[in-house]
């Protein structure tokens, strides 16, 4: 049951984002189905291998913040350039896992800036979802009420409950679009095109966000749940390799699950830790089912009105946004200001000199923190009576 809940929550929360991403990248219906199907089948196979190998509930997922990057930056690139950037991101994550660079990056990527980067990427989508309420109050107010009640009494089911409320409201108000016929699942190969612009705008943020917002929290959840025997190297390497094989068919970056992982790793899944890997296998089976029915899933989502998709995406990203915001609240003043600068620059959508907002946010925030740290160290070594 825990595995089924994890699949339901992750799919219901992110399908509106996938629809927006397909539109931003101007993918054909066949390419969209291929993207979703290839991602789900890669998650199913690699997740099952890891669960059986380590007898642990290793829950995999996709880079939600990376989806937001693709939605924001996608219109600037062709589908081939997007696939090339995702291919390079998957290759980088594979190498980071195989070589042990993951530990080096984890030690040197400042947690406040990583958290601010995550929050800055997600904030515009949350604001866009909330601002859509006046566009369709009959749809979004019931969805918002259902989400608030869900967060209060059944937090895991808050987003699916919001989706159910929005779907019910759309049916009652006649706001549903005519449904399209389900498309068969075909894995459509898209030839990658490599460009420096796409590398800077998509690859670099995708890798940093996968490490900071997915792999690190996912490993922390496994460790806190007692699965310290699971080494990080094969987890990062295998998810990167799975993404590398699936990227030419449109798959986004793959990584460890973070929020949904907690559903399957705690005592609620099973009182005996050595049996909780069954939840991971069930989650993998759920992903395989979604892969085989990717055309049906996308056909179903296409009937939903646009404002409802915007609102659902905004509500679904509140949890990750909260995680990012909490990570910026640190004691040192220089990191608080640097994290705030990273957050606002990233959220601004600034794109200049071919460099995307997440990269600018990280550069400027890190520069401010470094300069303040240098000034503070210089002040400390100034002899008494001198003017700094």
What pLDDT sits at residue 369?
85
Q: Tell me: the pLDDT tens digits for 361-378?
A: 888 988 888 888 787 767
Residue 327 lies in a domain: no
Q: What is the 3-state secondary structure (H, E, C) of 68-126?
A: HHHHHHHHHCCHHHHHHHHHHHHHHHHHHHHHCHHHHHHHHCCHHHHHHHHHHHHHHHH
User: What is the residue range of 157's domain?
Assistant: 2-320
Answer whether residue 198 is part of any domain: yes
- 238 has a pLDDT exceeding 60: yes
Residue 60: inside a domain, yes or no?
yes
Query: Which residue has tokens 């369709």?
Result: 136
Q: In Å, what is the CA distance from 215 to each residue of 103, 136, 158, 237? A: 11, 37, 24, 11
**How large a percentage of the chain has pLDDT more than 70?**
94
Whether the per-residue pLDDT at 331 is higher than 80: the answer is no
pLDDT of residue 386 exceeding 60: no
Q: Is the pLDDT of residue 38 over 90?
A: yes
Residue 75 lies in a domain: yes
- The answer as to whether 248 is a domain residue is yes
The domain total for the chain is 1
Percent of the chain scored above 90 by pLDDT? Answer: 39
Structure tokens at 128: 């866009």
Q: Model pTM? A: 0.78
pLDDT digits (tens, 9 = 90+) for 311-328: 887 887 787 788 777 777
- Which of 141, 137, 200 shows the shortest CA–CA distance to 359? 200
Question: 252 with 273: CB under 8 angstroms?
Answer: no
Does a structural domain hold residue 114?
A: yes
**Residue 360 in tokens:** 């600018």
Note the pLDDT of residue 22. 94
- Asked if residues 196 and 84 have their Cβ atoms less than 8 Å apart, the reply is no
- Name every residue whose Cβ is closer than 8 Å to that of residue 180 and which is 6 or more positions away in sequence: 29, 299, 302, 303
Q: What is the pLDDT of residue 65?
A: 84
Can you give the pLDDT at residue 385? 56
Q: Residue 292: inside a domain, yes or no?
A: yes
Neighbours of 81 (CB within 10 A): 21
In a domain, 345, yes or no: no
């Amino acid at each position: 049951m825990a595995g089924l809940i994890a699949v339901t929550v992750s799919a219901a929360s992110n399908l509106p984002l996938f629809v927006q991403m397909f539109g931003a990248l101007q993918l054909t219906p066949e390419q969209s189905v291929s993207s979703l199907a290839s991602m789900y089948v890669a998650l199913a196979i690699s997740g099952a291998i890891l669960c059986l190998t380590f007898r642990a509930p290793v829950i995999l997922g996709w880079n939600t913040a990376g989806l937001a990057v693709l939605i924001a930056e996608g219109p600037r690139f062709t589908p081939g350039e997007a696939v090339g950037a995702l291919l390079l991101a998957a290759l980088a994550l594979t190498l980071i896992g195989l070589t042990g660079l993951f530990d080096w990056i984890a030690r040197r990527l400042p947690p406040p800036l990583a958290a601010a980067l995550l929050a800055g990427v997600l904030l515009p989508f949350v604001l866009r979802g909330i601002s859509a309420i006046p566009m369709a109050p009959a749809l979004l107010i019931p969805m918002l009420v259902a989400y608030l009640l869900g967060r209060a009494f059944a937090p895991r089911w808050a987003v699916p409950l919001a989706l159910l409320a929005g779907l019910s409201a759309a049916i009652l108000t006649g706001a549903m679009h005519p449904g399209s016929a389900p498309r068969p699942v075909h894995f459509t190969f898209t030839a990658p095109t490599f460009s420096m612009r796409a590398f800077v705008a998509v690859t670099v943020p995708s890798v940093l966000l996968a490490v900071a917002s997915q792999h690190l929290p996912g490993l922390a959840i496994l460790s806190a749940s007692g699965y310290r025997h699971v080494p990080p190297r094969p987890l990062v390497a295998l998810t990167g390799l799975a993404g590398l094989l699936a990227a030419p068919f449109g798959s986004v970056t793959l990584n460890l699950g973070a929020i949904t992982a907690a559903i399957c790793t705690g005592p609620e899944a099973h009182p005996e830790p050595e049996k909780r890997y069954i939840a991971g296998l069930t989650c993998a089976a759920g992903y395989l089912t979604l892969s085989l029915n990717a055309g049906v899933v996308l056909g179903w989502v296409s009937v939903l009105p646009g404002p409802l998709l915007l609102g659902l995406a905004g509500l679904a990203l509140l949890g990750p946004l909260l995680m990012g915001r909490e990570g910026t609240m640190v004691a040192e003043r220089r990191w608080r200001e640097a994290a705030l600068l990273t957050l606002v620059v990233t959220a601004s959508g600034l794109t200049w000199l071919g460099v995307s907002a997440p990269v600018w946010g990280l550069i400027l925030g890190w520069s401010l923190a470094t300069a303040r740290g240098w000034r503070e160290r210089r002040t400390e070594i100034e002899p008494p009576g001198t003017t700094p």
